[in-house]
Amino acid sequence: MTTTALTNPFLDALGARTGIRVEFYDPTGCRYGFPTFPYRYAPKSLATRRQLRADGLRPNGYDPVAQILWRHRKEIRKAYLYRRDLAASKRVASPAQLAVIERMLIARRTCGTCGITRDYYIPTRTGACLICETGGTR
């Protein structure tokens, strides 16, 4: 992917017209060492992990090619961007895997003392439900 494909015409024109440099706009990676975009200004050909997941995709083992930086309160936050054209479809769990997951979740809700399956997860520090736990109020 070329750097010209990563540029944003609006942000380029803004900088040329006003002389104001947008803080987190660095499509070449000269300033931040990695192509960087401000929040909501990344090219449509790039997506975060969450955006890929919403589209039913995954990064497919490829490294991120750019990043988004933004300020939140007093810290700078970062999200990595992956190429959509290299993403693969999400893997689907087999029926056997789903059955194992369901049994594991039931085991997390089963009390180790009384053996009753509760409608909440048993605390791991005690291994007992809230009724069996000493000093429990239920």
Give 80-113 pLDDT, tens digit per residue: 999 999 999 999 999 999 999 999 999 999 999 8
Joined together, the tokens standing for residue 37 give 């975009």
Q: How far apart are CA 106 and CA 118, in angstroms?
A: 9
Strand 88-89 to strand 36-38: parallel, antiparallel, or no bridges (unpaired)? Answer: unpaired
pLDDT tens for 58-76 read 999 999 999 999 888 889 8
Mean pLDDT is lowest, of 10-14, 15-19, 111-115, for 15-19
